[in-house]
Structure 1
Amino acid sequence: MKGSDHRRARNRLRLGIALFVLALAVPSLLLVSKAYDQLKWQSFRQQQLVAEELAERINDSLVSIIRREDARPIEDYAFLVRSGERMRSYGKRSPLAEMPSGEIIPGLIGWFQVAADGDFSSPLVPAAGISPADYGVDAAELTLRQARARQIRGILVGNRLVERGDRKDRAELAAKEPETAAGMAPRPLGATIDREEGPASATRQEGDAPRARREIQAEDRLSQAAFERLARKGVAPGPESDEAGRLKRTDQLQLDEELALRSQRQQAAAVDDKAAFRSAPAEAVSVSPLGSRSNPLPFSDAESDRRMPVQLFGNAVEPFEVGRLDSGHLLLFRSVWREGERVIQGALIEQRPFLEELVGRPLATTVLAHTTHLIVAYRGAVLASFRAQPDGQYGIRATALRSGPPPLSGSLLYRTRMQEPFGGLELIYSVGRLPAPAGAAVIGWMAGTLAIVLLAGGWLMYRLGLSQLALVRQQQDFVSAVSHELKTPLTSIRMYAEMLRAGFAPEERKATYYRFIHEESERLSRLIANVLQLARIGRDALVLEPRAIAIGALMAMVRERVATQVERAGFAFEVDCATEAEILADPDAFVQIVINLVDNALKFSANAAQRRILIGCDVMERNQLCVRVRDFGPGIPKVQRKRIFDLFYRGPEAKANAISGTGIGLALVQRLVRAMNGKVEVTDANPGAEIRIVMPMRRAP
């Protein structure tokens, strides 16, 4: 095979193996990707089911609060309620008169009531004419209750739900008859509680007389109308506070909806299949992508009936409504019609503890706590985000989005609204990372193993292909060399035979011609024997018969076979094996080994300064005998000492100096020595090279 043909064959081999590996890698990669995607989808769906269950738990908690408050009598919003029989009734403290602990409603600041004339009252403080001490309220506790009532009223006043003064104060202020701080009698806390008291308050009331006169005449500023505006859905909020301006909007969330839409499509397909099977309309799914209106949790018929106004013996009680104030507080209130007048009753709730208890605490008990952001929004405004601690702890915390990096990105997991009256409250689950599926590690190991197998297999195939190409090239060179080696002795034999037959050779030259014919025939016989022996080894048909034989006898056979060849080449042949040791060897194979070594030494040391071939024997330990064959030529470079025993290998010196040979001599030596349980090695003799054959001894000298 020529050099250009060899390069083309090597390029075709590379291309073929690359296409083969690619043909296996592409479908394998698609299969692994599909399997991993399915596992990822299963993990996402499991997280989604947990999110759905958590949303139902949160909704149930909210519904239970609404049911409990709906069932509360309207009389409970006063400090005292009547108990006992009608003729023997007596007053006792209302259940709402206790200081809020957060057990009934998390984050509860307190209950309140706004009368038809706009007067504010709270069940925390007794009305006028009621002695707090008679009902177990001492002075210190009364101070705390008054402070809490002032706090509730202050929040309502700040959000324009309650007028700043009561109706009597506003009338007096309008008539320019304000009371001075020194002469003003204490006002019962149960009737009205004003945050502006004392001399400074009186001074401000004198200056605000015209404004109070205008306010009392404007019906749209009454508390009843303010609560109506708060109850209406979609109404524009009043002037925003600083906190309201800092809140994010849900339309600013940039969440990846691919998996959520996939879940929605699969659920819709499953519902359609059931509908086609049952011939019934499909139900709507609760998952919806960002930008579309999510379906709230469904109502039952009983729940729908509960949302209608209730008529109680001339009193009409409307369902509770929920509103969010500009100050960030949540307001739970209802309208009560009593004796033709409308009264507002409700509870003021701190937003943060309310959400932490009803949303954050349930989230902390699920697997979502460490992978999921739960965003709580109200009518499009993001209230808070619940997520796992960044240090990997199991605690959960609620952080307003302004105090940390907002979870504006990620994958949408689940989105739903709560049941009315919390219909404006929306839960948005997003995941930054999914927990590793159970089979992800197995698929990863399989993918890695498959990649290693493909790459290693491709590399091994390439190396095997290169070795086969090299073998083909060596075989071609071997055929060419053998043809030349066979042709040379045959030509010599034919020439001398024709001269003898034609009578051209004188009598004194006939003996020389006969000797040339004999030597060339021996050379031809050795070449043919090497080829046949190599063929037997290649097909595992080599049969050797090792037996105990004296090394001296073997050396005599070697001398007889190669003496003429060495002498004709002009070399001195020295044999130093004066030992009586016996080795276990096949005589013919051992003689062939030594002859090949001598022939190789003659070829490569033809131009040596010392034209000598030495054969020596050394008894070694472990019952072994070493036979050394040394020449005084250029030696063998260290990098080639392992390759000279390769089949068909011929070193650069042989090719550069056109040294004849087939490249099978030393390869055959190694194989024959190993077949007789020996070993062969090469050393640097300086000058020259020495090849050692170590054979097992049968008998030591």
Structure 2
Amino acid sequence: MKRNHLKGLDKAKLRGWLLLFFLCLAIPTTVLIQQSYSRLKWETFHQHQVMADELTNRINNQFIRQINTEEQRPFTDYAFLNVAGAPSANFLQRSPLSRFPVQSEIPGLIGYFQVDAAGKLLTPFVPNDIEKAGSYGITEKELVARIELQDRINQILSENRLVKNQAAMTGKKDQDGHGNALNRPDRRLAESEQDVTLPDRSVISGKLEKPVASPASEGQAVFDELKKAVPEKGLQENKLGRLKDIGLRQTFQVEASKPKSAEVKGRAVDKAQKKARTEQNLLPEAIEKDKRSIGYEVGESRLSAASAIQPNVKPIRIRTFESAIDPFEFSQLDSGQFVLFRKVWLNDQRYIQGLLIEKEAFLQGTINSAFQETALSPMSDLLVVFQGNVLSAFSGRSPRGVLSSTSELKGELLFQAQLSDPLNELQLVFSVTQLPVGVGGWVIIWLTIVLVIVFLAGFYFMYRLGVGQINLINQQQDFVSAVSHELKTPLTSIRMYGEMLQAGWVDESKLKSYYDFILDESERLTRLINNVLQLAKMTRNSIQPELKSVTVAELMDGIRSKVSTQIERAGFELKLSFDQKAEQAIIKVNPDWLIQIIINLVDNAIKFSVKADKKVLELSCHLLGSRHIQFKVRDYGPGIAKGQIKKIFKLFYRSENELTRETVGTGIGLALAHQMTMNMKGKIDVINANPGAEFRIVFPVDKFSDKG
């Protein structure tokens, strides 16, 4: 049953079955590769997600370390002068924050400031008595730079309504508004006077509760609203827009696989830091000498700030205070700068102390510098978001390092986390533009390429093999039909003529022609049977030629005797030609095989040239170069079509359709001639001689005969 189906298989059905077979293999293989690649891509995504988490924690820890440094600064550091050492040492020194230019671990730091309960500004950069600035080692040029920095801080804060507009900050003591909040009479604090030595700790309450503040100034009230307000000006100038408007994809985001964010890790640490701390402060009593200068009370006399640091002076009257200091808060001003500030409670009054920071320098120096050092930068973007607004976008792919339009921010959300207090309004958002393939990815890609090549090559070769088998089956069927025809026709003719001769129905004059016809048909049968037997032996590889050294002259004599009668009886003229040099050549061949090859070629020429106008067959032999002999058989028939020249030597191939062909033959003569020639280490080919076809056989010359 199966064989019947196979017999009816044609090329179209073969292609269909092979295509179905390879689809059955290709589809699950493709799904498997796709799933493997997706899994590998997800793992790569998760690895980079962990890298983003580690980078966020590193940046967050850096911020915490910098803010903790600022948290430890005492209240008195925001003044230009501090009490140094024990009060009995009678010594004042410049505050650590008075260094100029400003030095800090925080990138982009503009400067420090303090706002008193009245909303007036103080900075640690300009001394109280500007006329005595030289006594502190400040040159006139440096003093001008310090005043310019103080004016800049005042301008930024006043533009954002954080201090009163103090326009005349040029150094005039009666108009500058820069008197120390701790030593100006209009800001004199209610304190308990102490001696030059520190009071016993039992005098001061152990823990100061935060008192109810007096009504805050307009500037301080704005500080209270900073955390709630969204910077209007900064938002208008922001070209990157809102985070929610960017539309980052979240294909790989799986909640169960997300690493713990910096927000979660940081909260537990910050609970202790959120509580206000108390500290004791030593402050020199500030009095107003006149309307233009500030001094320090020293015993019964008054001493200027410049003379206070000179030796051999009377002790300074020191005041001891206890203050409550809140943790730092962080916000962005309308003008774009960041402000880091804290609230200090001192004797029922509140002070604001803080830092102004340039946004771009701060983000570049802290976040982008760390981001560019990681493997994340070439394949992802880092968005810095404050209160939902994208402040900056950094990328290692961009030659400028910073992205400036929302069209550049499309990607896959990798990781998103808030920083710890007080920077909890600041978010870091990582978006993947293209995941790196990695070693495992390249393995899958190359495996896919190899499988595709194997599948295509397998499909092609199996198809060619199947087509070859189908052609072979068809040719074998044609061969059986042809052999049956070739055997039946001469046998029928021989039997018919034999019966006529046996019955005596033939005239004496026709006897010879009848005998000749019977002889020709018998020879035709003999050639056919010899070809079939020879083919059977060669296909089983059970026959090898016995090569002998024979002169070309001997071979040509044998060939002439074998084919001359065949050619003449077919009504053709034989033209034989060869040169004398070729006759002396000796070649190693099997003479019987070579004669059979020539007979097959002559028989083929006769069959296809039977209707030719010129019935001539040319058989020639000559030297080809100096080491080869070439035999030629040419007819003057229609020739061979170009598309069939390479096919005629194939087994069972016939140029004519079996149903419509007009010539006899089995399709094995030329194939047998080709195979026998190759086994004798020769070459055979055919060309169109226009008109007709010319078969050429080439053998190497073994040597030349001495007979001449």
In structure 1, list runs of 5 or more residues that go unmatched: 170-180, 193-217, 268-284, 288-293
1:598 is matched with 602
2:600 corresponds to 1:607: no
Q: Distance in 2 between matches of 1:390 and 1:238?
A: 28
Q: Distance in 1 between matches of 2:140 and 2:556?
A: 130
Q: Distance in 2 between matches of 1:467 and 1:389?
A: 56
How far off its partner does 1:250 sit?
1.7
Q: Which residue identity lines up with residue 17 of structure 2 in the other structure?
A: G
The within-5 A match list for 1:22-171 is 22-127=23-128, 131-164=132-165
2:618 corresponds to 1:643: no
How far off its partner does 1:249 sit?
1.7
Q: Which residue identity lines up with residue 439 of structure 2 in the other structure?
A: A
Q: Compared with structure 1, are the counterparts of its residues 571 and 144 closer, same or farther at alpha carbon in structure 2 (3 Å cutoff)?
A: closer
Greater mean alpha carbon deviation, residues 11-20 or residues 481-490: 11-20
In structure 2, list runs of 5 or more residues that go unmatched: 1-5, 182-213, 281-321
- Of 249, 257, 265, the residue aligned with 1:266 is 257
The within-5 A match list for 1:656-667 is 658-667=662-671
Q: Which residue identity lines up with residue 69 of structure 1 in the other structure?
A: E
1:198 is matched with none
Task: Indicate conservation of the 8 Å contact 2:166/2:177, yes or no.
Answer: no
Task: Indicate conservation of the 8 Å contact 1:377/1:383, yes or no.
Answer: yes
Q: Distance in 1 between matches of 2:232 and 2:398?
A: 36
2:197 corresponds to 1:223: no
Task: Indicate conservation of the 8 Å contact 1:384/1:398, yes or no.
Answer: yes
1:369 is matched with 377
2:302 corresponds to 1:298: no
How far off its partner does 1:379 sit?
1.8
How far off its partner does 1:68 sit?
0.9
Task: Indicate conservation of the 8 Å contact 2:263/2:420, yes or no.
Answer: no
How far off its partner does 1:475 sit?
2.0
Size of the alignment, in residue pairs?
622
Q: Which residue identity lines up with residue 315 of structure 1 in the other structure?
A: S
Q: Compared with structure 1, are the counterparts of its residues 8 and 121 closer, same or farther at alpha carbon in structure 2 (3 Å cutoff)?
A: same
Q: Which residue identity lines up with residue 477 of structure 1 in the other structure?
A: D
Q: Distance in 1 between matches of 2:577 and 2:389?
A: 106
Task: Indicate conservation of the 8 Å contact 1:297/1:417, yes or no.
Answer: no
- Of 342, 350, 364, the residue aligned with 2:350 is 342
- Of 260, 264, 284, the residue aligned with 1:286 is 260
2:648 partner SS: helix
Q: Distance in 2 between matches of 1:101 and 1:187?
A: 22
Q: Deviations over 1:517-576 (max 9, x none)?
A: 333222111101111111212221223212133444444444444444333322334445
Task: Indicate conservation of the 8 Å contact 2:384/2:426, yes or no.
Answer: yes
Q: Which residue identity lines up with residue 337 of structure 2 in the other structure?
A: H
Q: Deviations over 1:240-262 (max 9, x none)?
A: 56746766222212111122x13
Q: Distance in 1 between matches of 2:660 and 2:575?
A: 30
Q: Distance in 2 between matches of 1:582 and 1:149?
A: 116
Q: Distance in 2 between matches of 1:318 and 1:591?
A: 118
1:523 is matched with 524
Q: Compared with structure 1, are the counterparts of its residues 32 and 241 closer, same or farther at alpha carbon in structure 2 (3 Å cutoff)?
A: closer
Greater mean alpha carbon deviation, residues 565-574 or residues 660-669: 565-574
Q: Deviations over 1:378-436 (max 9, x none)?
A: 12122111222634xxxx6446x4xx445442011111111111111111111212233
How far off its partner does 1:438 sit?
2.5
Q: Compared with structure 1, are the counterparts of its residues 382 and 690 closer, same or farther at alpha carbon in structure 2 (3 Å cutoff)?
A: closer
Q: Distance in 2 between matches of 1:616 and 1:323?
A: 107
1:201 is matched with none
Q: Compared with structure 1, are the counterparts of its residues 189 and 138 closer, same or farther at alpha carbon in structure 2 (3 Å cutoff)?
A: farther
Q: Distance in 1 between matches of 2:111 and 2:499?
A: 135
Q: Distance in 1 between matches of 2:508 and 2:237?
A: 132
How far off its partner does 1:510 sit?
5.0
Q: Distance in 1 between matches of 2:45 and 2:620?
A: 81
Task: Indicate conservation of the 8 Å contact 1:65/1:105, yes or no.
Answer: yes
Q: Distance in 2 between matches of 1:248 and 1:46?
A: 29
2:439 is matched with 438
2:58 partner SS: helix
2:288 is matched with none
- Of 574, 590, 611, the residue aligned with 1:586 is 590
Percent identity, aligned pairs only, is 40
Q: Distance in 2 between matches of 1:590 and 1:239?
A: 104
Q: Distance in 1 between matches of 2:393 and 2:237?
A: 15
2:178 is matched with 189
2:570 is matched with 569
1:595 partner SS: helix
Task: Indicate conservation of the 8 Å contact 2:478/2:658, yes or no.
Answer: no
Q: Which residue identity lines up with residue 343 of structure 1 in the other structure?
A: Y
Q: Which residue identity lines up with residue 688 of structure 1 in the other structure?
A: G
Task: Indicate conservation of the 8 Å contact 2:490/2:525, yes or no.
Answer: yes
The within-5 A match list for 1:622-701 is 622-652=626-656, 658-698=662-702, 700-701=704-705
The within-5 A match list for 1:542-553 is 542-553=543-554
Q: Compared with structure 1, are the counterparts of its residues 51 and 91 closer, same or farther at alpha carbon in structure 2 (3 Å cutoff)?
A: same
Q: Compared with structure 1, are the counterparts of its residues 312 and 646 closer, same or farther at alpha carbon in structure 2 (3 Å cutoff)?
A: same
Q: Which residue identity lines up with residue 331 of structure 1 in the other structure?
A: V
Greater mean alpha carbon deviation, residues 247-256 or residues 57-66: 247-256
Q: Distance in 1 between matches of 2:162 and 2:177?
A: 21
TM-score normalised according to structure 1 size: 0.81
How far off its partner does 1:93 sit?
0.6
1:386 is matched with 394
Q: Compared with structure 1, are the counterparts of its residues 471 and 111 closer, same or farther at alpha carbon in structure 2 (3 Å cutoff)?
A: same
Q: Distance in 1 between matches of 2:12 and 2:634?
A: 43
Q: Distance in 2 between matches of 1:572 and 1:496?
A: 27
Q: Distance in 2 between matches of 1:39 and 1:58?
A: 29
Q: Which residue identity lines up with residue 340 of structure 1 in the other structure?
A: D
Q: Deviations over 1:604-659 (max 9, x none)?
A: 22223333333333244444433332333333345433332222222249986601
The within-5 A match list for 1:198-277 is 222-231=218-227, 235-237=228-230, 240=233, 243=236, 248-259=241-252, 261-262=253-254, 264-267=255-258
Q: Which residue identity lines up with residue 257 of structure 1 in the other structure?
A: Q
Q: Deviations over 1:122-141 (max 9, x none)?
A: 11122259832221223332
How far off its partner does 1:359 sit?
0.7
Greater mean alpha carbon deviation, residues 566-575 or residues 49-58: 566-575
Greater mean alpha carbon deviation, residues 592-601 or residues 236-245: 236-245
Q: Compared with structure 1, are the counterparts of its residues 243 and 131 closer, same or farther at alpha carbon in structure 2 (3 Å cutoff)?
A: farther
TM-score normalised according to structure 2 size: 0.80
Structure (1 or 2) with the greater helix fraction: 1
2:209 is matched with none
Greater mean alpha carbon deviation, residues 21-30 or residues 73-82: 21-30
Q: Distance in 2 between matches of 1:241 and 1:626?
A: 96
Q: Compared with structure 1, are the counterparts of its residues 632 and 375 closer, same or farther at alpha carbon in structure 2 (3 Å cutoff)?
A: closer
1:20 is matched with 21
Task: Indicate conservation of the 8 Å contact 1:121/1:191, yes or no.
Answer: yes
Q: Distance in 2 between matches of 1:474 and 1:523?
A: 22
Q: Deviations over 1:148-176 (max 9, x none)?
A: 2222122222212223369xx9xxxxxxx
Task: Indicate conservation of the 8 Å contact 1:112/1:346, yes or no.
Answer: yes
Q: Distance in 2 between matches of 1:245 and 1:646?
A: 80
Q: Compared with structure 1, are the counterparts of its residues 649 and 341 closer, same or farther at alpha carbon in structure 2 (3 Å cutoff)?
A: same
Task: Indicate conservation of the 8 Å contact 1:413/1:430, yes or no.
Answer: yes
1:307 is matched with 274
Q: Distance in 2 between matches of 1:143 and 1:619?
A: 111
Q: Compared with structure 1, are the counterparts of its residues 94 and 607 closer, same or farther at alpha carbon in structure 2 (3 Å cutoff)?
A: same
Q: Compared with structure 1, are the counterparts of its residues 650 and 104 closer, same or farther at alpha carbon in structure 2 (3 Å cutoff)?
A: closer
Q: Which residue identity lines up with residue 137 of structure 1 in the other structure?
A: I
Task: Indicate conservation of the 8 Å contact 2:418/2:427, yes or no.
Answer: yes
Q: Which residue identity lines up with residue 486 of structure 1 in the other structure?
A: L
Greater mean alpha carbon deviation, residues 442-451 or residues 53-62: 442-451
Q: Distance in 2 between matches of 1:387 and 1:405?
A: 13
2:199 is matched with none
